Amino acid sequence: MIRPPRPPAELGRAEFTMMLAMVMALQALGIDTMLPALGEMAVDLGASDPNHRQLIVGSYLIGMGAGSLVFGFLADRFGRRRVLLAGIATYCCFDFLCMVIDSFPMMIAFRFANGMVASAGAVIANAVVRDKYEGDAMASMVSMIAVVFMVVPVLAPTIGQAILLFAGWRSIFGLMFAMGIIMFCWVYLRLAETMHPDHRQDLDLGRVGRNFRTILTNRDAVGYVFGATLVFGGLYGYLNSSEQLVAHHFGLGEKFAYVFGGMALCMAASNFVNARIVEKFGARRVSHSALLLFVVMAGLQWLAAHYAPDNFWLFAPLMAVNLSLIGFLGANFSSIALQPFRHFAGSASSLQNAMRVGGGAILGALVGSAYDGTAQPVGMSMFLFSLLGLLLVLFSEKGKLFRRRKETVTQVAGPIGPK
């Protein structure tokens, strides 16, 4: 077997952050670049119901959740690097298939499969970070990765819109294919295995079952996993119906890409702030404060959709604030939920990501299918889901919020560059 040449220096923190962010960004490319093209794709492929266009995004999200169940366990058995490379390579194959098919049902099937393999990036990136960091330092690193990652949702709709000006929607899949090839080469040449050899897990059903049971019955983690699932359900509900809501209901047409990008920029900014403050104040204090405020703002979003359904300038600021608050929830909830599972972080990341993304995608699909030409389904779901999420976090915290638990912040020894 030919090994990659050893680089002149170990992978530094900046490149480590950028690489994992771009690996995760392959997922976002598969969602956000599609949004301006959904109408054109649905017409070309023969979709009958206007709401069916949402399935192009919804099937991908559900596939991401399903795939998350697989890749973490494979990464705990075979190592992070090898499984990540296999996932990226398969991602490129499905991008190519989506580019050439001409059937709407086949598009939905391939998008589901594409989402499954795209999940390798997020699951393994989280496991790699958990291999290297723990405690609030991990939350800070996850947030910093998210800052870089969020550049893609900011730019992707505009990129998709620009592609449509000069070429058809199939060229969007060509872009995704090219990005996958670039990331495969970067990971192959620069990323070493981060998993300690003593932490490798056998792929036997008994061990998998015990790991599942441990993950699902850990009170410290389970409330954060299900709470994040509910919050993501509201987010995905907005994501699924955003093109119809902004471009058609509010009548902004091609300006949709700029509106969506601007709101994604708010999430990027909040992730940046979170990365700067979380080690000082603690992941729990920051995320609990954000969740309480999210419940209030989501309630206002629902009221605005009911009493001023056509007022975009009321809808947009409220949604921007809600999306900003999610930037203080996602990385922190994920980091808190992974803390108890250092010795099988891949399995824990896999199951937890499957629950967050898969469960959130199913909830988001239900919210999207309820789209009635107004923002009411989105506003109502964000409020009710976040309220239930707060109750789940209270369960994990035994009824007491804002406690900063004493945790050891340790970086795992060993190089990050290729071995």
**Tens digit of pLDDT for each residue in 346-379?**
677 778 878 888 888 889 888 988 888 889 999 9
Percent above pLDDT 90 for the chain: 32
Residue 204 has a pLDDT of: 66
Q: Is the pLDDT of residue 8 over 60?
A: no
Q: How many whole angstroms separate alpha carbon 127 and alpha carbon 76?
A: 9
Residue 345 has a pLDDT of: 64
Q: Is the pLDDT of residue 283 over 80?
A: yes
Q: Of residues 17 and 199, which shows the higher confidence score?
A: 17
Can you tell me the mean pLDDT for 2-15?
61
Residue 113 has a pLDDT of: 95
CB atoms < 10 A from the CB of 12, how many? 11
Q: Is residue 103 one of the residues assigned to a domain? A: yes
Q: Is residue 131 one of the residues assigned to a domain? A: yes
pLDDT per residue over 133-150, tens digit each? 776 677 778 777 877 777
Residue 414 has a pLDDT of: 41
Residue 10 has a pLDDT of: 66
Which pTM does this prediction carry? Answer: 0.77
Can you tell me the mean pLDDT for 300-314?
93
Q: Is residue 222 one of the residues assigned to a domain? A: yes
Residue 408 has a pLDDT of: 35
Q: Is the pLDDT of residue 46 over 70?
A: yes
Q: Is residue 109 one of the residues assigned to a domain? A: yes
- Residue 77 to residues 200, 343, 404, Cα–Cα distance (Å): 5, 12, 33
Can you tell me the mean pLDDT for 188-201?
81
Q: Is residue 29 one of the residues assigned to a domain? A: yes
pLDDT per residue over 70-102, tens digit each? 887 788 888 889 999 999 999 999 999 999 999
Please, which pLDDT band fits residue 112 given cuts at 50, 70 and 90?
very high
Q: Of residues 176 and 254, which shows the higher confidence score?
A: 176
Q: Is the pLDDT of residue 4 over 60?
A: no
Q: Is the pLDDT of residue 1 over 60?
A: no
Residue 344 has a pLDDT of: 67
Number of domains in the chain: 1
- The parent domain of residue 204 ranges over 13-396
Residue 269 has a pLDDT of: 84
Q: Is residue 190 one of the residues assigned to a domain? A: yes
Report the mean per-residue pLDDT for the chain: 84
Can you tell me the mean pLDDT for 297-305?
95
* Phi, psi values for residue 22, rounded to 5°: -75, -30
CATH code where residue 325 lies: 1.20.1250.20
Percent above pLDDT 70 for the chain: 90
Residue 417 has a pLDDT of: 45
Please, which pLDDT band fits residue 202 given cuts at 50, 70 and 90?
low
Q: Is the pLDDT of residue 297 over 60?
A: yes
Q: Is the pLDDT of residue 181 over 90?
A: yes
Residue 416 has a pLDDT of: 42
pLDDT per residue over 372-416, tens digit each? 888 999 999 999 999 999 999 999 888 888 776 654 333 333 444
